[in-house]
């Protein structure tokens, strides 16, 4: 009897160990090995990771679900829905979503650094006007595409523009404050980064969702 109880306890301990390991900060569902942190947010961190079988490097946004209030949980669901919807050459791809008891993992395309770091590290040199025009056009193409799908990003800033050096392009990322909108319907959620917010958001007013085709003249910039 004692031996049976002991065996059951050992089996339970082993299962608990495997469950905790699966939901640990070292590996995700046996598929991705996590390494250093490359970004941080309010309820999430972004880590560098590598696929166990293919060796492909990815970025993994790790969201701690235990720290989410109802509003933050709604934002999270909106982020996943919007990122699954948008598929564009200048928007960072969401490869897959892995959900565990306490964490949600967003497996994302890995870039080479964001525009904020580039500006801070190269402020003395800057960019030539043609390269800057090209990057700016790519960002607007991504925004226009989102608006065509009635998706508004609501957190546009240099930190959310990622460089892909081998491709010679930039991509928009972090749809944490994104939402779907109906044409001619105002939004009233105050969100985004304070330093980049529009005056009407800072004042707490309702604001117009972007009109479809708003940026149709941007190639002439």
Identify the pLDDT of residue 179.
87
Q: How far apart are CA 208 and CA 183, in angstroms?
A: 9
Distance of CA 100 to the CA centre of its chain: 18
Report, at the CATH architecture level, how domain 27-108 is classified. 2-Layer Sandwich (3.30)
pLDDT band at 5 (very low <50, low <70, confident <90, very high): very low
Q: Is 43 left (phi over 0), alpha (psi -120 to 50) or beta?
A: alpha
Q: Which residue has the higher pLDDT, 128 or 139?
A: 139
Q: What is the CATH number that goes with domain 115-220?
A: 1.10.510.10
Q: How far apart are CA 115 and CA 135, in angstroms?
A: 10
Residue 31 predicted with pLDDT over 60? yes
Q: How far apart are CA 209 and CA 182, in angstroms?
A: 8
208 noted as active-site residue = no
Q: Annotated catalytic residue: which of 74, 112, 124, 155? A: 155
Residue 22 predicted with pLDDT over 70? no
Q: How does pLDDT run across 48-58, given as a tens digit for each residue?
A: 999 999 999 99
Question: Where in the chain are the domains?
Answer: 27-108, 115-220
Identify the pLDDT of residue 149.
94
Q: Which helix (H) or strand (E) holds 68?
A: none
pTM for this prediction:
0.79
């Amino acid at each position: 009897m004692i031996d049976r109880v002991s065996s059951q306890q050992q089996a339970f301990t082993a299962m608990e160990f495997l469950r905790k390991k699966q939901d640990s900060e070292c590996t995700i569902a046996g598929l991705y090995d996590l390494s250093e942190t490359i970004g941080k947010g309010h309820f999430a961190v972004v880590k560098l990771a590598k696929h166990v079988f293919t060796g492909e490097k990815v970025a993994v946004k790790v969201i701690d679900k235990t720290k989410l209030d109802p509003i933050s949980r709604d934002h999270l669901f909106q982020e996943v829905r919007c990122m699954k919807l948008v598929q564009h050459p200048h928007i960072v791809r969401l490869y897959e979503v892995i959900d565990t008891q306490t964490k949600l993992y967003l497996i994302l395309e890995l870039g080479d650094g964001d525009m904020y770091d580039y500006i801070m590290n190269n402020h003395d040199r800057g960019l030539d006007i043609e390269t800057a025009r090209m990057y700016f056009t790519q960002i607007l193409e991504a925004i226009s595409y989102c608006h065509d799908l009635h998706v508004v990003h609501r957190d546009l800033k240099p930190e959310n523009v990622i460089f892909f050096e081998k491709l010679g392009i930039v991509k928009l990322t972090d749809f944490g404050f994104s939402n779907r909108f109906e044409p001619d319907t105002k939004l009233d959620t105050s969100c985004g980064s304070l330093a980049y917010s529009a005056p009407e958001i800072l004042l707490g007013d309702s604001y117009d969702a972007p009109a479809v085709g708003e940026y149709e003249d941007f190639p002439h910039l």
